[in-house]
Structure 1
Amino acid sequence: MKKKRGLLLFLAAVVFGGFLGMFIGIFKARAESHGIMLDVKVLIPWISAICLLIGFISILLTFNFLKKSRKFHSLYQEEMDDDLNETYYVQMYRNLEFGTIAFNIASVAILLAFFISVSEEIVLNRSNLTLSLSFLALVLVFNAQKYLYKTISIVRQFDLAFFSTPKDVLDYINSYDEGERQANLEQSFRILFQLNNYVLPGLYILIDLFSLLTGEIQLLALLLVGAIHIYINVMQLPMVKRYFK
């Protein structure tokens, strides 16, 4: 059964690759016949503005989820009914995790908006409002992080340093109960597997399509994605050395 499934996946990949190659060839011919080339400079302000908007929305969601987590924690501490206690317990941790996810998204989006805006300022030599708003958003990110870590201290009774090391975060994960640690382990494996087999290979294709539209080889983007792809595989070596001495 496994061999048949592997063969079907291989054949599907070959067929998909064939159709993709045919599509790219047709698209390239049509684009060249109409003289279509994408001007990235026009898109830069829009991309940074969209990232900034996502960042602000995520920060609002972060504070909202963390506030709810603290509220349910207070109710959990005061409630004597077992059924309600179970409900408050679940909601307390659920909102904490949602707040953590929203904070991580906000951090990435705002940093991306900031660096895109800085590049626009330096390379294209044009000022923009997004850069000033990015500084404000970074201040909000630091406040959101402080609020997040304080909420973690209240709910999980664990103090994380503001600039946490991987060891600090690992100790924090080890403070989870066994079921939660297992769920995190399984999700981490899924993320790593999908990055290695789907997301990063898909990025190669998207970068090639972008190169086709702009008429320039996006060498740096390909090298960065390739470096990340190699990194997540090489970083498996310490685990192998540690557990298979």
Structure 2
Amino acid sequence: MKKKYKERSARFRFWRNIAMFLPGVIVAFLIGFVGSDHPIEFQKLFDRDMLYIGSIILYLIIFGIASTYLFSSRQSYQMMEATEDEDEAYRYESQTRRIYDLATIFKGVMIVPYLLVIFFSCQKLIYEEKLTGILGKYTIPLTFLGLLLLTFGLEHQFRKTFKQIYGKAIPRNSSGAEVRELIMSMMDEAEKQICYEENFDIVFKLSNYVLPISLMAIFLVGITFQTDILLALVVVSLIYVYILVSQYKITKRYYKE
């Protein structure tokens, strides 16, 4: 059941916004007033090897979670096929799709540690004159190749499971629009309605909370550590502007003549 919205008074909302905004103002004022003669480089607080190995471990953990959910969805599907009771079969079908969706979420999250592995690998290749390890200079390329094979192997298993569960195969080399149309064609009206509501909620929170707070946080980090934050500001700002500008399409469709 959806959580009921609780109306807040204007005074409560005012002091809540002040409480959210005030810490950033205080930190910015203190930094600007006191200053910093010794800029702090955030990455020097950590060992490069530790970041590299930690990214690999994080990737393997998320890979294991996604694989476990995928295997569980297959087991649930087999139990659905084996049962003869219609109510129990319906329950297993719902469970299968729910677990598969969770596996898909973790598969998407895998891109983050994978990119971190590439980033820290490039840093090790650039800043270290001689690479050490079991395989020496071949350690990083082989690690990258191994993670790449794991990623493609898991993607292949996801495609097989999708076809098994939904009875349709995801077209090879399909675009995002084609995948969207395929998935939407398999949804009923209730599922579409839930997706529309939740996606609206996500976009609303991104444009009103997540991205503005991220911009403020990036700005404060740049002042505190005296680092170049231009690229981060540009990327987050472009996403923020894109979401806001895309609202024009909604307005145009609603008020079209």
Scaled by the length of structure 2, what TM-score is found?
0.79
> Of 226, 230, 234, which residue of structure 2 is paired with 1:223?
234
Q: Cα 1:136–1:9, aligned 2, differ >3 Å: closer, same or farther?
A: farther
- Counterpart of 1:110 in structure 2 is 114
Give the corresponding residue for 2:16.
Answer: 12
Aligned length: 242
1:206 is matched with which residue: 217, 220, 226? 217
Identity percentage over the alignment?
24
The correspondence for 1:150, drawn from 141, 160, 164, is 160
Q: What are the ranges of 5 or more consecutive residues in structure 2 without an aligned counterpart?
A: 1-5, 133-138
Alignment of 1:135-214 (within 5 A): 135-174=145-184, 175-214=186-225
Q: Give the CA deviation at 1:143.
A: 1.1
Cα deviation for residue 52 of structure 1 reads 2.8
Residue 170 of structure 1: SS of its match in structure 2?
helix
2:243 alignment partner in structure 1:
232
Contact between 1:204 and 1:222, CA under 8 Å: does it hold in 2? yes
Q: CA RMSD in A?
A: 2.9
- Contact 2:59–2:113 at 8 Å: present in 1 too? yes
**Offset of 1:19 from its aligned partner?**
3.2
Distance 1:163 1:10 in 2: 51
In 2, are the aligned partners of 1:149 and 1:160 still within 8 Å (CA)?
Answer: yes
Q: Deviations over 1:60-97 (max 9, x none)?
A: 11121111111111211221123422331222111101
> Helix, strand or coil: the match of 1:210?
helix
Q: What are the superposed Cα offsets for residues 12-58 of structure 1, whole Å, 9 maximum, x if unpaired? A: 3234323321133335666737x462342454554444333222111
Question: Is contact 1:73–1:89 with CA below 8 Å preserved after alignment?
Answer: yes
Alignment of 1:45-124 (within 5 A): 45-122=49-126, 124=127
SS at match of 1:89: helix
Q: Distance in 2 between matches of 1:191 and 1:165?
A: 23
- 2 CA distance for matches of 1:52 and 1:159? 31
Q: How much does 1:152 deviate?
A: 0.9
**Structure 2: how far apart are the matches of 1:241 and 1:173?**
26
Q: TM-score w.r.t. structure 1 length? A: 0.83
Between the aligned partners of 1:76 and 1:206, the Cα distance in structure 2 is: 48
Deviation at 1:242, TM superposition (A): 4.7
Deviation of the 1:206 alpha carbon: 2.1
For structure 1, the 5+ residue unaligned runs are none
Could you say if the C-alpha distance between residues 7 and 139 of structure 1 is closer, same or farther in structure 2, counting changes exceeding 3 Å?
A: farther
**Equivalences for residues 36-51 of structure 1 within 5 A:** 37-43=40-46, 45-51=49-55
